[in-house]
Amino acid sequence: MRRLSLAAVVAAAIAATGCGTTQAIRPLGRGGLRAELSLGGPFFDNVGVPIPMPLALVGARYGVIDRLDVHARWHVTPAAFGTFGLDAGASGLILEQNGWIPALSGGVLLTLITDAQETNVFPEFTLAASWDVYRGSLVYFGLTIFYQFAPFFQYHPALFVGGRWQATNRFGLTLELKWISFHPVSYTHL
């Protein structure tokens, strides 16, 4: 029974993190390279009850210059259902942290989803404030807006809050919560 309870808590924690952790928090610095694994997923509520949908992403991030990273992630979970998903983008530091005044970062991300019959590309824009609280360990919050163009135009703003514990120079753990589409969604047929 205890194992089942622990599994339920872990599944709930993973599902509550949103579709994947936000990329636009802090850059790695010139020449920095990092492999990333993101576990998360939205809650699916089309059956009347919120059900967590796990989503795994595997990717990498590279520091082009000190204040700018490029990144890409493969969406592992959709592949099990015959769908290919990939996101790629760039994020950069706009303002450095100054004491209690947070660092400000921004990013752009394009997500490609295809099942070989239909292909959709979804742009996303992010703005985040973050504080380095101890040797690379961060707390942060921000806003991201995700756009959908087919079969009709929709936009989905999301608020997020998170923290990253930087255990070593090579290993960190991030926990993030997102509130996706926190307002009534606007639809416009194209």
Question: Where is average pLDDT lowest: 12-16, 24-28, 59-63, 173-177?
Answer: 12-16
Residues 179 and 156: their CA atoms lie apart, in Å, by: 10
Q: Quick one: average pLDDT of 41-47? A: 69
In eight-state DSSP terms, residue 22 is: -
Q: How confident is the model at residue 10 (pLDDT cuts 50, 70, 90)?
A: very low
> Is the model's pLDDT at 7 over the cut of 60?
no
Q: How confident is the model at residue 97 (pLDDT cuts 50, 70, 90)?
A: very high
Give this prediction's pTM. Answer: 0.79
> Is the model's pLDDT at 188 over the cut of 70?
no
> Is the model's pLDDT at 80 over the cut of 70?
yes
pLDDT for the residue 98: 97
Residues 148 and 153: their CA atoms lie apart, in Å, by: 5
> Is the model's pLDDT at 65 over the cut of 70?
yes
Cis peptide upstream of residue 52 (ω within 30 degrees of 0): no
- Using DSSP's 3-state secondary structure scheme, residue 160 falls into strand
pLDDT for the residue 187: 52
- Using DSSP's 3-state secondary structure scheme, residue 78 falls into helix
Q: Checking phi first, is residue 48 left (phi over 0); if not, alpha (psi -120 to 50) or beta? A: left
| Portion of the chain with pLDDT greater than 90, in percent | 53
